[in-house]
Amino acid sequence: MATAQPVPEDSPALRAEVIATARGMNAAGINVNKAGNVSVRCSRGRKTGFVITPTGVPYDALTPPDLVFVPLASPATGDGLPEGVIGERKPSSEWRFHFDILRTRREFDAIVHTHSQAATALACHGLGIPAFHYMVAAAGGRDIRCAPYATFGTQELSDNALVALRGRKACLLAHHGVIACERTLARALSLAIEVENLAGMYLRARQIGDPPTLSAAEMDRVIEKFATYGQPAARKHA
Ligand SMILES: [Zn+2]
């Protein structure tokens, strides 16, 4: 498992990077309107947490003060936010899976969530993405799983996502969308784009039958090669 990086301070520059990533999702065609959300791990003094896009604000109108800092302390019971949230606005309704992923997966510092079309189309059938193409390994394993459906914003959805993300950097969410996790915002966005690209190819491949899949041994070889290159989310190795 990758070692944790130093956590940057919450700053206007870091928040601007989150906003640029949110706008980047829409520019890349993997998100429409305000459906998705973005977070990055950071600290405020001695408190570690993350900043996340707020609920209900169009990305074009977002400014750094609109983002919300959520401390990675123990959450309140039920769907309540943890104590110590800082912000004028409410965090994204999906703050809980950002919270749970960043709290339990120290190798990730940035999360991108989208409702990208092809990946969500597969997820509406409860389908993940098997090893039909070697780039599936960009998500860290032999396949990309689809988490069972649960209502948006709930602990159940977060729990399901955490299971689907075991040993993976990305998963689909049934009847919902995609989560992509990485060490930087740029890499998380790149991974979300890659997952959508793979989902689109898989949908097309399925139109003429179930495509054969690569063997576990071959996928393990690709995963190993990606680890050596250190660029799994980019397509520079091709
Ligand atoms: Zn969503």
CA of residue 163 to ligand 1 center, whole Å: 17
- Give residue 123's region: left, alpha or beta (phi > 0; psi -120 to 50): alpha
Mean pLDDT of the chain: 93
Closest by CA to 182, choosing from 94, 102, 236, 99, is: 102
Position 131: which residue type?
A
220 Cα to the center of ligand 1, angstroms: 31
pLDDT digits (tens, 9 = 90+) for 99-121: 999 999 999 999 999 999 999 99
pTM for the full model? 0.93
Residue 75: band (very low, low, confident or very high) from pLDDT cuts 50, 70, 90: confident
> pLDDT at residue 230 above 80?
no
Check if 94 is active-site. Answer: yes
Give the model's pLDDT for residue 236. 44
pLDDT-derived band at 33 (thresholds 50, 70, 90) equals confident
The catalytic residue among 17, 83, 88, 94 is: 94
CA–centroid distance, 130 to ligand 1, in Å, is 22
227/27: higher pLDDT: 27
